[in-house]
Amino acid sequence: MDKQEREQFVADLIRLNTVGGHEDRVAHFLKAAFDARGIYNQVLPVENGRSNFYAEIGTGEIDKVVALEGHEDVVALGNPAAWDHEPLGAEIKDGKMYGRGTTDMKGGLAAECIAMFELADRAEPVRGKVKLLVTVAEESSPQNHMQGAQAFTKAGYLADVDAMILAEPSFGQLNCANKGSLTYAVTSKGKAAHSSMPQLGFNAIEPLMTFYQAQQAFFATLGAENPHLGKTVPVVTKIEGGQQLNSVPSTAALYMKVRTIPEEPNLMILDHLQELIDRINRQEGAQLALELLGQKVPVVTDPHGEFNQILHQVAEEVFDQSIKVCGSAAGTDASEMIKGNPDMTIAVFGPGNRTAHQVDEYMLLSTFHKDIEVYKQAILTYFG
């Protein structure tokens, strides 16, 4: 494909609205593109309106498998009036393509697809096997988060994979690790009463504040630091309590997002939080409850493994600059997919930048084109 064809392909992908579901639009768009090139592919329904997509090339002559991974959904557009560029317009200006998903991560997904098209078009067949795994629900709420990755994992698509590239935005770096996460709520039940007679009720906010202080003290004791991921990072993201100003609140809730590292596992943190809640309930007669809304395990892979060394070297050659190897604070589908094959090498390398989820999100087209070359050359070098 020439540059114009590549850019048309990613523009068509950006213009498909896949906010809050509707990933079928991408799955069927990809199917048509892969069908037109005679490449084996499948649309794999996950739930109504949401389908994973799978494609595969290569002779399998050698026993090496590389997976390319991306997701179809994007986050909400926000206020369209706040954008200087049409959110789904894929407008190109000064070497940048603007639109929701350019950075996170339809730009990266398009680069992976084009790499497969161009590998399949080579006169010499690809000797190993290249899989494309495209998921739904990566950007979804905790209740159905990573449904697509879970479906691929449970169906065994990762079992034979030696190395996987996720084309998430990597800011010009090669990420060989990503943090895990815990998303949870702590709810508090009390008893409503008139604010002039608080002794007749039980203020649900007060034990919740006791818990907040206790958990902050606990998090302050966590001192481990991963060389690629840094420290565990807790953030209070939402607090609710009461209904009106002249009543003792009967309910309250606190919501948390914790970015985790292997040295301080999710289960250890959850166990300690439950101990705090049990103690406060006993001592204060409170009714606190911990509700786990979602979690991801941290992923750390060897940056010096064969595939990651090849990918790193190729990236530096293509970009003609030093490429930093590091970890990412954000989570990815890898947290789910690693469960299907703990031995596979993981790398996050995509054309996105720090405008993910922002107004006027964009992607540098020069980076997009170079990433396609990196994917192709790294795969061919790995296959030998």
Q: For residue range 71-103, what is the model confidence (pLDDT) as tens digits?
A: 999 999 999 999 999 999 999 999 999 999 999
pLDDT tens per residue, range 9-32: 999 999 999 997 899 999 999 999
Judge: domain 3-178+298-383, CATH 2.60.260.20: no
Mean pLDDT of 131-145: 85
Cα–Cα dist 317/323, whole Å:
10
pLDDT at 365: 98
Neighbours of 8 (CB within 10 A): 13
Average pLDDT over residues 349-375: 97
Q: Which of 138, 139, 336, 371 is flagged as catalytic? A: 138
Could you give the residue range(s) of every CATH 3.30.70.360 domain in the chain? 180-296
63, 208, 336 from 67: Cα distances, Å: 13, 45, 15
How far is CA 198 from its chain centroid? 46
Residue 144 has pLDDT above 70, yes or no: no
Within a 13 Å sphere around the CA of 93, how many CA atoms are in the beta-carbon half?
A: 11
- Residue 254's CB is within 10 A of a number of other CB atoms, namely 22
Tokens of 256: 């948390």
Mean pLDDT check: name the lowest of 23-27, 130-134, 145-149, 273-277.
Answer: 145-149
Could you tell me if 34 and 91 are in contact, meaning their C-beta atoms sit under 8 angstroms apart? no
The percent of residues above 90 in pLDDT, for the chain, comes to 95
Domain 180-296 of CATH type 3.30.70.360: yes
The answer on pLDDT for 160 being more than 80 is yes
Asked about 104 being catalytic, the answer comes back as no
Which residue type occupies 305?
G
User: CB-hemisphere CA count at 13 Å for 341?
Assistant: 22
Return residue ranges of the chain for CATH 3.40.630.10: 3-178+298-383
d(Cα 202, Cα 206) in Å, to the nearest integer? 9
Helix (H, G, I), strand (E, B) or coil at 121: coil
* Mean pLDDT in residue range 211-237: 96
Site of tokens 């479906």: 151
pTM: 0.89
H/E element, 212: helix 205-221
Is residue 224 pLDDT above 90, yes or no? Answer: yes
Q: How confident is the model at residue 146 (pLDDT cuts 50, 70, 90)?
A: confident
Task: Please give the average per-residue pLDDT across 257-265, as a whole number.
Answer: 96
Q: Catalytic residue among 73, 112, 168, 371, which?
A: 73
Q: What does the pLDDT read at residue 331?
A: 83
Asked about 360 being catalytic, the answer comes back as no
142 pLDDT above the threshold of 70: no
Is the pLDDT at 57 greater than 70, yes or no? yes
